[in-house]
DNA sequence: AATATAAAATGA
DNA sequence: CATTTTATATTA
């Protein structure tokens, strides 16, 4: 019987294409094959094979490619991802299968050298130094040998020509050395840590393994799928998303025991005996969460299975890798966007072969071809960096929960400041919850005190209030480190001419230009537009009347330098002069105590630990509280809790001072009292009272109008949704100003649907049926289905 | 994504 | 009307 294979191609195609399987070729699901597509050849993955006559008009599969096939859980993850994010299946596949890089194919053989045992014909001082180093007979890289001997490369080359050194092809170093789960640890776990670790380890035996997953479970893998009414929201409907593949247990309607009708949204929900989909590991800053989940990683390795630790890219620091090495004896294999070429391919191959047991990586590591995944840890689970906002829109934390269920392995979400989603999920019993309420080693959390800026005013033109100045003065006098936190890059967020009142604005974005004094430029933080800072006002021509309004970190540095002239001050922000490598070095230097006062943006709140830091001064806690973002309060609270938590993690106790104009604001009050729980309760209630779900499946609908004149003719550049289509709830704003972004007017609003429909095509159809706007306006819709509220 | 085809703009 | 640029459709 001839065979037909359904091949999914890693392109923006939503359906698999059928190809004839040539006689003599055996294919099974997941195999990677080469296929003709139009006039060219590409690769694809077998998504299904059927015994049937091809009908004669199908093109044949060209051949199989000798790489590890995609495992069933990974294929199901692709299906799930595509459906959940409304992305074409092929695009989802492209996350897990990248076309083989031609550069990576050609193996680069590194040449090593070692002593040939005979002396140099004409010995020189430099040559002797090299031979002395090489005398041990070890093989070294050429440059490594030259560096060790303190000579230049040409000396080594000369000795090779001379015959005193012999060359040897280096075996490529392994992508990762095996971590040792029983490596002697330097610091014993605290009682609380040991207890938490034991709970995590117990989870290895309670997760439901993959083959048993069935019934309502299948549909209910969803992670962010709870509305205010607590009903499932993301149950896709068959008619909106016709099934293409013969057997896909994740899709409703294909269950052996009755299909879609049995998929009650109530079934299985809220059952306390149900196995949790993930475990939230919540530990205050300094509680040693990492050490706790390292124990789960160790247990996973002991069981011979693979572990994946996801981190936001910025948190993948040398500091973290060293902590890993202190526990496991070696640094882990790492995966992030910067890893390319051969290294990337070899790591993939190592993971697929099961040789690499632990991978620490950024969100894209989620799609690595693990053969036997036994644990996923999502560190800093609240981080918004887990959201991919271009291409396929997905949230890596949530997809980690999905992959964990598909692989039948525990998923640990770790954070000091968990997201609202995870809190709600723990409240509802969907996620387990382990709490570490106290710091490791008996250290205390920093005392947080507010400075009411209405009472303690800074001097004119200054931004540090007297109590803040006094606290910094005392800390540095005692030889301690102080951090002044202000989440604003540059010198001043707004520049105006005091002669004519002209405000410098971005020509693309309707935002104010931020002065960067070091660079002598005005910069738009929205689109990156930069112009030289003018000598005279561009509007009225007056000299010396450009006035900076408000502070940025550069301006604070200026003030601090005047107040503390003999102290070492450093400014750390993402636009650090000298690039990321220099920035990394500076962060290390600060951690080593080579600095007295750090002035930083949110960059310093994440990833790095500063053991000498005892004082954190938040210069403006109110930033971000008034923005239109519905998550503003949550984000601000998390950021402030993270940054104040930097203090006092070393020997000496820490404290934090918070400058604010609204000490009674719920966010500030919660921060001061340390009552995070209550804050989140209130936040969740507030959202429900406002008719918003605590979170849900949302789409941001972006309407772009092509022409400025037309947009402005339409009622003062305001756009509105007069009549949303049924099934779509507009969360707001119903009417909003058009923002000019890269030459196009855009209008962004949040919509929500509780139906399993394809939001994008649904809205397109609705738009096509709506009355057309006058003039030459082109309206397009772009949907971002992963913008969780 | 790569390629084919259609449509629009350019130019003598 | 041929040539070049740009937008849109197709790939099994």
Q: Does strand B come within 7 Å of the CB of A11?
A: yes
Domain A3-97 maps to which CATH number in 3.40.1440.60, 3.40.190.10, 3.30.70.330, 2.40.170.20?
A: 3.40.1440.60
Where does residue A739 rank: exposed (0-12), middle (13-18), buried (19+ CB within 10 A)? middle
In A108-262, the DSSP E strands lie at 111-115, 140-141, 165-169
A199 alpha carbon, distance to own chain's centre: 27
CA of residue A769 to C1' of nucleotide C4, angstroms: 36
Q: Does strand C come within 7 Å of the CB of A37?
A: yes
Which nucleotide is the nearest neighbour of A37, by CA and C1'? C11
| Half-sphere exposure at residue A257, Cβ-oriented, CA atoms within 13 angstroms | 7
The answer to whether A500 is annotated as binding is yes
Domain ranges of chain A: 3-97, 111-169, 278-436, 447-493+550-688, 695-783
Task: Report the DSSP pairing between strands A728-732 and A744-753.
Answer: antiparallel
Q: Are A671 and A636 in contact (CB under 8 A)?
A: no
Average pLDDT for A399-408: 95
Homologous superfamily assigned to A695-783:
Ribosomal protein S10 (3.30.70.600)
Which nucleotide is the nearest neighbour of A778, by CA and C1'? C7
Q: Are A489 and A514 in contact (CB under 8 A)?
A: yes
Which nucleotide is the nearest neighbour of A391, by CA and C1'? B1
Contacts of A605 (CB under 8 A, 6+ apart): A485, A639, A642, A643, A646
Identical fold, A278-436 and A447-493+550-688: yes
Residue A658 has pLDDT above 60, yes or no: yes
Beta bridge partners of A514: A523
CA of residue A38 to C1' of nucleotide B3, angstroms: 8
Residue A646 has pLDDT above 50, yes or no: yes
DSSP string, A32-63: EEEEEETTEEEEEEEEEEEES---S-PPBP-E
CA of residue A115 to C1' of nucleotide B7, angstroms: 70
Question: How far apart are alpha carbons A649 and A285 in whole angstroms?
Answer: 8
Residue-wise pLDDT tens digits, A185-219 = 888 999 999 999 999 999 999 875 544 443 333 33
A447 alpha carbon, distance to own chain's centre: 30
The answer to whether A506 is annotated as binding is yes
Residue-wise pLDDT tens digits, A447-467 = 999 999 999 999 999 999 999
Q: Does strand B come within 7 Å of the CB of A39?
A: yes
Residue A415 — φ and ψ, nearest 5°? Answer: -170, 150
Task: Report the DSSP pairing between strands A387-388 and A394-395.
Answer: antiparallel
Q: Does strand C come within 7 Å of the CB of A578?
A: no
Question: How far apart are alpha carbons A774 and A749 in whole angstroms?
Answer: 22
Q: Does strand B come within 7 Å of the CB of A390?
A: no
CA of residue A9 to C1' of nucleotide C3, angstroms: 36
Closest by Cα among A328, A329, A364 to A344 = A364
Q: Which nucleotides of B are covered by protein (CB under 7 A)?
A: 1-4
Instruction: Give Dmax over CA atoms of chain A in angstroms.
Output: 90
| Residue nearest C11, CA–C1′ metric | A38
Neighbours of A636 (CB within 10 A): 23
Question: How far apart are alpha carbons A736 and A625 in whole angstroms?
Answer: 20
Q: Are A564 and A476 in contact (CB under 8 A)?
A: yes
Domain A278-436 maps to which CATH number in 3.30.590.10, 3.30.70.20, 3.40.50.300, 3.40.50.2300?
A: 3.40.50.300
DSSP string, A758-781: -HHHHHHHHHHHSPPPSSS---EE
Residue A242 has pLDDT above 70, yes or no: no
Homologous superfamily assigned to A447-493+550-688:
P-loop containing nucleotide triphosphate hydrolases (3.40.50.300)
**Helix intervals (H) in A203-279:** 216-219
List the structure tokens of A351: 């993971």
List the structure tokens of A614: 């005892």
The answer to whether A549 is annotated as binding is no
CA of residue A14 to C1' of nucleotide B10, angstroms: 38
The answer to whether A409 is annotated as binding is no
Residue A320 — φ and ψ, nearest 5°? Answer: -65, -45
The answer to whether A524 is annotated as binding is yes
Predicted pLDDT at A274: 67
Residue-wise pLDDT tens digits, A71-107 = 999 999 999 988 777 688 999 999 999 755 554 444 4
Closest by Cα among A397, A318, A228, A771 to A580 = A318
Predicted pLDDT at A316: 81
Predicted pLDDT at A629: 65
DSSP string, A261-296: GG--SSTTSS-TTSPPSEEEEEE-TTS-HHHHHHHH
Confidence of residue A493 (pLDDT cuts 50, 70, 90): very high
Confidence of residue A263 (pLDDT cuts 50, 70, 90): very low
CA angle A420, A422, A424 (to 5 degrees): 70
Residue-wise pLDDT tens digits, A751-789 = 655 444 455 566 666 666 655 554 444 555 555 544 343
Q: Are A595 and A609 in contact (CB under 8 A)?
A: no
């Amino acid at each position: 019987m001839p065979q037909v294979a359904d091949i999914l191609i890693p392109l923006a195609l939503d359906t698999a294409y059928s190809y004839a399987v040539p006689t003599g070729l055996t294919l099974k699901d997941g195999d990677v094959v080469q296929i003709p597509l139009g006039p060219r050849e590409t690769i694809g993955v077998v998504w299904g094979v059927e015994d049937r006559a091809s009908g004669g008009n199908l093109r044949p599969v060209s051949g199989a490619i000798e790489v590890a096939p995609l495992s069933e859980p990974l294929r199901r993850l692709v299906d799930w991802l595509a459906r959940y994010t409304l992305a074409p299946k092929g695009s989802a596949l492209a996350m897990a299968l990248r076309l083989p890089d031609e550069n990576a194919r050609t193996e680069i053989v590194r040449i090593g050298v070692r002593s040939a045992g005979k002396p140099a014909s004409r010995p020189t001082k430099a040559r002797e130094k090299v031979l002395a180093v090489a005398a041990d007979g070890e093989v070294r890289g050429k440059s490594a040998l030259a560096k060790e001997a303190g000579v230049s490369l040409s000396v080594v080359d000369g000795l090779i020509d001379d015959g005193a050194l012999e060359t040897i092809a280096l075996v490529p170093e392994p992508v990762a050395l095996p971590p040792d789960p029983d490596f002697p640890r330097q610091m014993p776990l605290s009682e609380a840590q040991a207890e938490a670790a034991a709970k995590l380890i117990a989870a290895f035996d309670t997760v439901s393994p993959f083959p048993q997953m069935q019934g309502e479970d299948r549909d209910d893998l969803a992670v962010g799928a709870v509305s205010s009414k607590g009903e499932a929201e993301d149950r896709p409907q068959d008619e909106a998303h016709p099934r293409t593949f013969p057997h896909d247990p994740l899709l409703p309607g294909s269950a052996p025991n009755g299909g879609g009708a049995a998929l009650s949204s109530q079934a299985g929900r809220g059952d306390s005996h149900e196995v949790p989909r993930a475990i939230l590991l919540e530990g205050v800053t300094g509680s040693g969460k990492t050490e706790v989940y390292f124990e789960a990683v160790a247990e996973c390795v002991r069981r011979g299975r693979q572990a994946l630790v996801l981190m936001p890219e910025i948190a993948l620091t040398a500091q973290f890798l060293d902590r890993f090495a202190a526990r496991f004896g070696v640094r882990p294999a790492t995966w992030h966007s910067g890893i390319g070429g051969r290294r990337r391919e070899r790591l993939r191959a190592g993971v697929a072969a099961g040789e690499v047991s632990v991978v620490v990586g950024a969100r894209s590591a989620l799609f690595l071809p693990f053969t036997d995944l036994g644990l996923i840890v999502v560190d800093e689970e609240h981080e918004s960096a887990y959201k991919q906002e271009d291409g396929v829109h997905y949230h890596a934390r949530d997809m980690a929960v999905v992959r964990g269920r598909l692989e039948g392995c525990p998923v640990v979400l770790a954070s000091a400041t968990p997201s609202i989603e995870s809190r709600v999920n723990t409240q509802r019993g969907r996620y387990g919850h382990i709490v570490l309420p106290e710091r490791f080693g008996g250290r205390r959390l920093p005392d947080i005190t507010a400075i009411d800026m209405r009472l303690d005013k800074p001097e004119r033109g200054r931004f540090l209030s007297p109590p803040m100045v006094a606290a910094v003065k005392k800390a540095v006098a005692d030889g301690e480190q102080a951090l002044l936190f202000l989440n604003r890059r540059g010198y001043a967020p707004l520049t105006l001419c005091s002669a004519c009142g002209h405000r410098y604005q971005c020509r693309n974005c309707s935002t104010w230009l931020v002065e960067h004094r070091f660079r002598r430029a005005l910069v738009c933080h929205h689109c990156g537009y930069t112009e030289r800072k003018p000598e005279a006002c561009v509007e009225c021509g007056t000299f010396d009347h450009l006035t900076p309004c408000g502070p940025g970190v550069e301006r604070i540095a200026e003030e601090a330098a005047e107040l503390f002239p003999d102290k070492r001050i450093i400014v750390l922000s993402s636009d650090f002069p000298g690039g990321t490598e220099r920035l990394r070095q500076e962060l290390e230097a600060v951690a080593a105590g080579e600095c007295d006062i750090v002035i930083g943006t949110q960059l310093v709140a994440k990833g790095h630990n500063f053991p000498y830091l005892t004082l954190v001064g938040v210069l403006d806690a109110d930033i971000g509280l008034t923005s239109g973002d519905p998550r503003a309060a949550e984000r601000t609270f998390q950021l402030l809790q993270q940054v104040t938590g930097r203090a006092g993690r070393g020997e000496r106790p820490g404290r934090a001072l918070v400058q604010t104009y609204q000490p009674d604001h719920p966010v500030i009050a919660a921060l001061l009292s340390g009552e995070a729980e209550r804050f989140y309760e209130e936040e969740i209630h507030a959202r429900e009272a406002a008719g918003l779900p605590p979170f849900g499946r949302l789409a941001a609908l972006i309407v772009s109008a092509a022409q400025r004149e037309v947009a402005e003719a339409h009622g003062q550049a305001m756009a509105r949704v007069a009549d949303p289509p049924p099934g779509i709830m507009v969360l707001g704003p119903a009417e909003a100003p058009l923002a000019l972004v890269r030459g196009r007017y855009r209008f962004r609003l949040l919509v929500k649907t509780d139906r399993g429909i394809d939001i994008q095509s649904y809205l397109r159809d609705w738009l096509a049926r709506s009355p057309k706007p006058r003039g030459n306006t082109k309206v397009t819709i772009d949907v971002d289905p992963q913008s969780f509220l």
